């Protein structure tokens, strides 16, 4: 069952036959987007921010991630893959990172680029942006699409605090498109650029980019899906000394803590936060101006940053350790970022100011909304206040909201039902 609403694309789908109605997903959803009704989970497309928490928690495989089929690359003359830095942490240490990167060419790509290529440039861009926007504190990172959407849905007053620049893989997409058009005489439509990503939020961001001015990528593949195909190729490849450029020094982008350390300098104080519960707590504190002493806060919805995305295959701590080892052993490379700098100065990486997402209001009509709020408060007094989710709504307040919106009945509260049954016995 697709999570549908014409306005929003989502990279997850429900398999109703697998759903047992256990409500685990209801409890972890940060935007209260999920309800279990008649024993099956349903997702409100207007509230979902594609964080993947529900995909990770459901042990019955009833919420599955969506990824594009690999054969869509063949629609294009020139096929380019851009690797998220998390990819480097997925392979055991007997497989050199350059081999794992080169194997992608065997899948039919003409070029394989890495997010890591733009890391140093991104750090200087972020510092420049922070210094040019002294009036806004703290600036919030915009690389994690789930965090950007979370702010649109739950913390709209913080939208001006977002770093209004494209994320690294989109900046690289812009740069490569211009480069291949100029160098290879290709048109925009000849070139297919695809991301290989660690999380559902990045798949969604490719299909529905927030604030993008121009055509970006043409599809996204999950690291998990690509990993299986790469392992098959690796068995056939005899490639002990692969000749391919890699940028291990820039793999820091996959690790949330390291990005903040790199941005932090004499005049910039940076904080790093990862994991959805921490992100929610910190955003509430930012709203209360409790963290105005920070210039920049890096927010990643997954544990340890992108290595924690639910489309990876490796444990996030193991992947993080492997990436740190690759960075430690990397030889220092000087990357020419002059073209990237010119594009930045020309405003090519700017994004459209982001708008809040309107989520459920009790009623469009203010009089009706007041009536419903009164009824909601009356229902709330009757409910047990246990927030147990056994009714299929995440909290007693959410159930009261659902009842006044005719999406649930007070009989859905199993605690009240049992109480009434006892009284009748």
CA of residue 104 relative to chain centroid, distance: 23
Distance in Å, CB of 4 to ligand SF4, minimum: 13
Q: Does 199 bind ligand SF4 (CB under 6 A)?
A: no
Q: Does 391 bind ligand SF4 (CB under 6 A)?
A: no
Of the two residues 43 and 258, which places its CB atom closer to ligand SF4 in the complex? 43
Distance in Å, CB of 198 to ligand SF4, minimum: 14
Distance in Å, CB of 390 to ligand SF4, minimum: 12
Q: Does 412 bind ligand SF4 (CB under 6 A)?
A: no
Q: Does 197 bind ligand SF4 (CB under 6 A)?
A: no
CA of residue 61 relative to chain centroid, distance: 20
Of the two residues 126 and 146, which places its CB atom closer to ligand SF4 in the complex? 146
Among 35, 49, 280, 299, binds ligand SF4 (CB under 6 A): 49
Closest CA to 303 of 57, 59, 2: 57
Of the two residues 30 and 192, which places its CB atom closer to ligand SF4 in the complex? 30
Distance in Å, CB of 56 to ligand SF4, minimum: 9
User: Strand, helix or coil at 165?
Assistant: strand
Query: Are the C-beta atoms of 14 and 1 separated by less than 8 Å?
Result: yes
Query: Are the C-beta atoms of 103 and 231 separated by less than 8 Å?
Result: no
Q: How far apart are CA 149 and CA 301, in angstroms?
A: 11
Q: Does 36 bind ligand SF4 (CB under 6 A)?
A: yes
**How distant, in Å, are the alpha carbons of 22, 37, 42, 377, 413 from that of 389?**
9, 11, 14, 19, 9
Q: Does 56 bind ligand SF4 (CB under 6 A)?
A: no
Query: Are the C-beta atoms of 255 and 116 separated by less than 8 Å?
Result: no
Among 13, 37, 46, 60, binds ligand SF4 (CB under 6 A): 60
User: Strand, helix or coil at 319?
Assistant: helix
DSSP 46: T
**How distant, in Å, are the alpha carbons of 148, 309, 326 from that of 152?**
6, 21, 36
Q: Does 63 bind ligand SF4 (CB under 6 A)?
A: yes
Interface of this chain with ligand SF4, residues 2 to 31, rule: CB under 6 A: 12, 19-25, 28-31
Distance in Å, CB of 384 to ligand SF4, minimum: 21
Stretch binding ligand SF4 (CB under 6 A), from 44-52, 101-109, 132-140, 252-260: 44-52
User: Strand, helix or coil at 201?
Assistant: helix
Distance in Å, CB of 50 to ligand SF4, minimum: 5
Of the two residues 54 and 326, which places its CB atom closer to ligand SF4 in the complex? 54
Pairing of the two strands 12-14 and 63-65: antiparallel
Distance in Å, CB of 279 to ligand SF4, minimum: 12
Stretch binding ligand SF4 (CB under 6 A), from 34-42, 79-87, 127-135, 284-292: 34-42
Of the two residues 35 and 101, which places its CB atom closer to ligand SF4 in the complex? 35
User: What residues contact residue 151 under an 8 Å CB cut-off, 6+ apart?
Assistant: 140, 158, 159, 162, 283, 354
Bridge partners, residue 63, by sequence: 14
Closest CA to 151 of 142, 9, 135: 142
Q: HSE on the CB side for 186, CA within 13 Å?
A: 18
Query: Are the C-beta atoms of 31 and 153 separated by less than 8 Å?
Result: yes
Among 8, 42, 62, 91, binds ligand SF4 (CB under 6 A): 62
Q: Does 34 bind ligand SF4 (CB under 6 A)?
A: yes
Distance in Å, CB of 48 to ligand SF4, minimum: 3
Distance in Å, CB of 16 to ligand SF4, minimum: 9
H or E element: which one contains 197?
strand 191-197
Footprint on this chain of ligand SF4 (rule: CB under 6 A): 12, 19-25, 28-31, 33-34, 36, 41, 43, 48-54, 57-58, 60, 62-63
């Amino acid at each position: 069952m697709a999570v549908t609403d014409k306005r929003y694309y989502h990279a997850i789908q429900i398999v109703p036959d697998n759903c047992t109605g256990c409500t685990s997903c209801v409890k972890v959803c940060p935007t209260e987007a999920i309800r279990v009704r008649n024993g099956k989970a349903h997702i409100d497309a207007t509230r979902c921010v594609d964080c993947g928490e529900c995909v990770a928690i459901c042990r019955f495989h009833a919420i599955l991630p969506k990824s594009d089929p690999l054969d869509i690359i063949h629609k294009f003359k020139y096929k380019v893959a851009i690797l998220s830095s998390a990819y480097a942490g997925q392979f055991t240490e007997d497989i050199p990172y350059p081999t794992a990167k080169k194997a992608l060419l065997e899948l039919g790509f003409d070029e394989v680029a890495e997010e890591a290529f733009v890391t140093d440039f991104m750090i200087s861009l972020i510092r420049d942006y922070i210094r040019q926007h002294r009036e806004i504190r703290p600036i919030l990172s915009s690389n994690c699409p789930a965090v950007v959407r979370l702010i649109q849905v739950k913390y709209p007053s913080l939208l001006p605090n977002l770093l209004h620049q494209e994320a690294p893989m989109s900046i690289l997409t812009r740069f490569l498109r211009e480069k291949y058009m100029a160098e290879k005489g290709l048109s925009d439509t000849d070139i297919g650029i695809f991301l290989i990503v660690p999380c559902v939020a990045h798949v969604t961001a490719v299909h529905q980019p927030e604030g993008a001015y121009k055509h970006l990528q043409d599809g996204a593949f999950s690291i998990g899906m690509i990993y299986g195909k790469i392992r098959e190729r690796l068995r056939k490849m005899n490639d002990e000394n692969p000749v391919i450029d890699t940028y291990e020094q820039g793999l820091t982008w996959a690790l949330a803590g390291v990005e903040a350390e790199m941005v932090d300098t004499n005049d910039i104080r940076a904080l790093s936060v990862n994991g959805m519960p921490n992100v929610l707590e910190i955003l509430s504190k930012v709203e209360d101006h409790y963290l105005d002493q920070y210039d920049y806060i890096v927010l990643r919805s997954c544990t340890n940053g992108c290595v924690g995305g639910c489309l990876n295959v490796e444990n996030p701590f193991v992947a993080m350790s492997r990436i740190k080892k690759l960075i430690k052993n990397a030889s220092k490379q000087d990357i020419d970022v002059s073209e990237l700098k010119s594009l930045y100065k020309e405003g090519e990486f700017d994004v459209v100011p982001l708008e809040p997402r309107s989520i459920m209001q009790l009623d469009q009509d203010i009089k009706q909304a007041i009536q419903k709020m009164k009824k909601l408060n009356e229902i709330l007094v009757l409910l047990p206040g246990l927030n147990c989710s056994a009714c299929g709504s995440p909290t007693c307040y959410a159930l009261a909201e659902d009842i006044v919106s005719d999406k649930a009945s007070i009989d859905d509260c199993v605690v009240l039902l049992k109480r009434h049954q006892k009284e009748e016995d």
